[in-house]
Amino acid sequence: MNPIEKLTEAFEHFPGIGPRQARRFVQYLLAASPAVRGELSETIQQLGAHTTQCKKCFRWFVKEEHKSNLCSICASSRRDEGLLFIVEKDADMDNVERSNFGGLYFVLGGTIPLAAEEPQKYIRVHELLKRVEEDAAAGKLKEIILGLSATTEGDHTRLILQEKLLPLSEGLGFKLSSLGRGLSTGSELEYADPDTIASALNSRG
């Protein structure tokens, strides 16, 4: 495979990118200067060398040397530890932050496809249950908010998580709520504006 085909195929693996867009990216890079290509490839390498996944919420962040393995949100003492917001991906979490939510997060890493038989293959189910049990055991957890997209897969994922979390909520004494009502059908948290998220949070149930 020549470099043009190889890079086109690499871009096709990106989320939401089809063959035509992948070819346009490659055309752009072919027309760009060697300096632009060099900087891009160096930035991609640095991305691996300087970032790490938070041990608590699983979002990716830039790790400063000798600092903890927790991201700035999980490490902060100013957050409400009683509120746990469950999101699909890092971009959702970044967007919810703009709505002035003051609690903590957990990133699932995606949604569960409709026909999936083993949910844990697609999202961090075990890690979530472990986190919930630890927080509840420490007497911190008051409420879990399920912030899934208002899409078919988002709804499906919410139902499966509710099945797993409801029995725990009774035993461990926390409230289980979901966003959803405030978000219009088909909308994803990543693209909702901060006011919409804030009002969806206020009307959660």
Q: Taking CB under 5 A as the criterion, which residues in 118-177 touch Zn ion?
A: none
Query: Which of 22, 87 has the CB closer to Zn ion?
Result: 87
Residue among 26, 74, 86, 200 that touches Zn ion (CB under 5 A): 74
83 near Zn ion, judged by CB under 5 A: no
Q: Are 125 and 164 in contact (CB under 8 A)?
A: yes
In angstroms, what is the minimal distance from the CB of 21 to Zn ion?
A: 32
Residue among 57, 93, 107, 123 that touches Zn ion (CB under 5 A): 57
User: Of 53, 93, 88, which Cα lies nearest the Cα of 69?
Assistant: 53
Q: Taking CB under 5 A as the criterion, which residues in 184-203 touch Zn ion?
A: none
CA 114 to each of CA 134, 157, 160: distance values in angstroms, whole numbers, following the listed order: 29, 8, 11
In angstroms, what is the minimal distance from the CB of 48 to Zn ion?
A: 19
In angstroms, what is the minimal distance from the CB of 124 to Zn ion?
A: 13
Residues binding Zn ion: number (CB under 5 A): 5
71 near Zn ion, judged by CB under 5 A: yes
Query: Which of 36, 62 has the CB closer to Zn ion?
Result: 62
Residues 6+ apart with CB under 8 A from 172: 132, 133, 136, 137, 141
93 near Zn ion, judged by CB under 5 A: no
Burial of 146 (0-12, 13-18, 19+ CB in 10 A): buried
Query: Which of 74, 192 has the CB closer to Zn ion?
Result: 74
Handedness of CA 123, 125, 126, 128 (dihedral sign): positive
Q: Taking CB under 5 A as the criterion, which residues in 15-54 touch Zn ion?
A: 54
Handedness of CA 158, 108, 87, 89 (dihedral sign): negative
* Interface residues toward Zn ion, by CB under 5 A: 54, 56-57, 71, 74
